[in-house]
Amino acid sequence: MSGDIAANAIEVINLSSSEMPETTLLIFPPWLDHLSEYPPLGICQLGAVLEQEGLPVSLLDLGLWKEEEWKARLIPKMNEVKPTLVGISAQTSMIMMGLKIAEFIKTTHPEIKILLGGPHPTARPNEALKKSFVDYVIRGEGEIPLLELALKKDITAIKGLSYKKDGKIIHNPLPPLIDNLNELPLPARHLLDLKQYAWFPEISLMSSRGCPFPCYYCFGKVFGKKFRGRSAEQVVKEMEYLNKKYGYTKFYFYDDVFTLNKNRVLEFCNLLLERGHKFEWRCLSRIDTLDDGNFERLKMMRKAGCIKIQFGIETGDPDLMKKIKSITQEQARRVVQAAKDAGIETKCYFMIGHPWDTKESVMNTIRFAKEVGSDLSLFSIVTPFPETKLWEMAKEMGIIIEEEDRDWSTFYVNSENMDDHIMRTYTLSTRDLIRFYKKGWRELYLKTMVDMFKNPAKLLKIIKTRGIITVARSFYRKIIVP
């Protein structure tokens, strides 16, 4: 790690040269209903920071295997690495598995310190620290706090760290966000077996952190609201490195809003074109960041290899669009059509079950999802996550009741466990939302399948990418099963 980040972390550390560094093991828990498609960037980035400072670190992506296999994969790794510090990253849907892993490690190796980080522990650090088997929580960005903890800095001085002392939970002040992301080393993907990830030759990466938009359902306190972009030069160099070393030719940008900074996007595209790269890439975006009149960026993005943009439109009701996203139906149609004209595929996401949703507004969403013109639209039911504005609204509505031991896995809802959903609106019941969700999917899938049969080449491409069994299963679940 270069520059001020390492210097600021190390200057207060008094580590004797005679002391051997102790190994840190970073774990990504199993997914609930699928396997990891790409190396988890969070633990890869944290591992890179430790590795660059000469600290032994190992990574374990348990998401590569089914949930019931985690012990069989964890035990050999523990025996091999013999860590003194184990860090577990967890989203809300994964926190139950994360805690199960933490308890198992602490029970079998009580001398090991257990650390939790990621979105859910950041949102609810007390919940984790009340468990006897959890020693630390890192809130927010984890690179500097983890490095300082691994270097045995006084825990009372580590910003962003939460811990227990004399029976009380202590929360140190949050550190400032890492302003210059160019100072971070490239994620340590080499610490994982990349051959195990099914999406080769595509891999994920991030070119920025932070999102300034105030979406009421989103928890953005890990990376904050300040948009911080890596330089176009460094992003292109990472792509070149991944291509040269591992053979990757396709890239998926996980940034919340890849297209926010117009000049950075244009510079990035120009660099790819100047260097003659034939990479393909896709990204996440917002409709209003690309509605600039002449659609210069969309045209440049396609020339530079962009093949797909994913938009979170979230509702098709005109009034709710203004309330939730500050966009209009016409804007969405315009940008989706401009992307199509440029030769870029689009995928649009819609949510059913906003607190203000009515039967009429949900039907508006289903209709608009079919007519917006995207290559694919997807539905989900709104889910209140901790410490979001939606969470507070859900508590006021009586949907959420604070509990000491909540099963957070129920907050991940797919077509197989719809009955577990908890959301309702001011006028629609949970059963209403599930019914509309299934109706929306059925109508979208029928439209999509008709369109695909009209374009056999596109259907064959999807089958080749996802597999005939996956496509058939998806068709069955969304259309045949009511």
pLDDT at 453: 72
Fold designation for 3-171: Rossmann fold (3.40.50)
What phi and psi values does residue 12 have, to the nearest 5 degrees?
Answer: -100, 5
Which of left, alpha, beta for 343 (phi over 0: left; psi -120 to 50: alpha)? left
Task: Decide: 434 and 419 in contact? Cβ < 8 Å.
Answer: yes
User: Does the pLDDT at position 7 exceed 90?
Assistant: no
Identify the CA nearest to 205 among candidates 282, 261, 262: 282
Rounded (10°) CA dihedral 213, 216, 218, 222: 70
Q: Residue type for 387, please?
A: E
Mean pLDDT value across residues 112-117: 98
Mean pLDDT value across residues 145-172: 97
Residue 18's pLDDT band (cuts 50, 70, 90)? very low
User: Does the pLDDT at position 447 exceed 80?
Assistant: no
Residue 14's pLDDT band (cuts 50, 70, 90)? very low
pLDDT at 6: 43
Measure the N-to-C terminal CA separation of the chain; round to a whole number of Å.
53
Q: Rounded to an integer, what distance in angstroms lies between the CA atom of residue 421 and that of residue 405?
A: 18
Identify the CA nearest to 13 among candidates 153, 136, 193: 153
pLDDT at 444: 86
Q: In which residue ranges of the chain is CATH 3.40.50.2300 found?
A: 3-171
Q: Rounded to an integer, what distance in angstroms lies between the CA atom of residue 27 and that of residue 18?
A: 29
Cis amide prior to 201 (ω within 30 degrees): yes
**In CATH, which superfamily holds the domain spanning 199-480?**
tm_1862 like domain (3.80.30.20)
Q: Residue type for 206, please?
A: M
Alpha helices per DSSP H over 255-358: 262-274, 296-303, 318-324, 329-342
Tell me which of 32-41, 247-256, 296-305 is least confident.
Answer: 32-41
Rounded (10°) CA dihedral 348, 352, 355, 359: 120
Tell me which of 1-15, 79-93, 300-314, 388-402 is least confident.
Answer: 1-15
**β-strands 136-138, 161-165 pairing:** antiparallel
Tell me which of 52-56, 201-205, 463-467 is least confident.
Answer: 463-467
User: Looking at per-residue confidence, does 113 or 469 come out higher?
Assistant: 113
**In the beta sheet, which residues pair with residue 393?**
none
> Residue 158 corresponds to which tokens in the numbers above?
């580590």
Question: Cα 279 from chain centroid?
Answer: 23
User: Does the pLDDT at position 346 exceed 70?
Assistant: yes
Mean pLDDT value across residues 350-354: 96
User: Does the pLDDT at position 104 exceed 80?
Assistant: yes
pLDDT at 200: 93
User: Does the pLDDT at position 209 exceed 70?
Assistant: yes
pLDDT at 420: 63
Tell me which of 39-43, 202-206, 315-319, 437-441 is least confident.
Answer: 437-441
Q: Residue type for 430, please?
A: T
Q: Rounded to an integer, what distance in angstroms lies between the CA atom of residue 83 and that of residue 58?
A: 9
Strand ranges inside 90-206, DSSP E:
113-117, 136-138, 161-165, 168-171, 202-205
Task: Decide: 32 and 14 in contact? Cβ < 8 Å.
Answer: no
Task: Decide: 163 and 135 in contact? Cβ < 8 Å.
Answer: yes
Task: Decide: 400 and 394 in contact? Cβ < 8 Å.
Answer: yes
Mean pLDDT value across residues 192-212: 96
Q: In which residue ranges of the chain is CATH 3.80.30.20 found?
A: 199-480
Task: Decide: 84 and 113 in contact? Cβ < 8 Å.
Answer: yes
pLDDT at 54: 95
Question: Cα 479 from chain centroid?
Answer: 28
User: Does the pLDDT at position 10 exceed 70?
Assistant: no
Q: Rounded to an integer, what distance in angstroms lies between the CA atom of residue 241 and that of residue 253?
A: 16
Three-class secondary structure of residue 4 per DSSP: helix
pLDDT at 83: 97
User: Does the pLDDT at position 17 exceed 80?
Assistant: no
User: Does the pLDDT at position 482 exceed 60?
Assistant: no
The mean pLDDT of the chain is: 90
Mean pLDDT value across residues 315-321: 97
Q: What is the pTM of this model?
A: 0.89
**Side-chain half-sphere CA neighbours of 42 within 13 A:** 22
> Residue 161 corresponds to which tokens in the numbers above?
């760290």
DSSP 413-470: --TTSGGG-----SS--HHHHHHHHHHHHHHHHHHHHHHHHH-HHHHHHHHHHH-HHH
Residue 222's pLDDT band (cuts 50, 70, 90)? very high
Q: What DSSP designation does 114 have?
A: E
Mean pLDDT value across residues 276-292: 96
Identify the CA nearest to 164 among candidates 114, 93, 198: 114
Q: Residue type for 370, please?
A: K
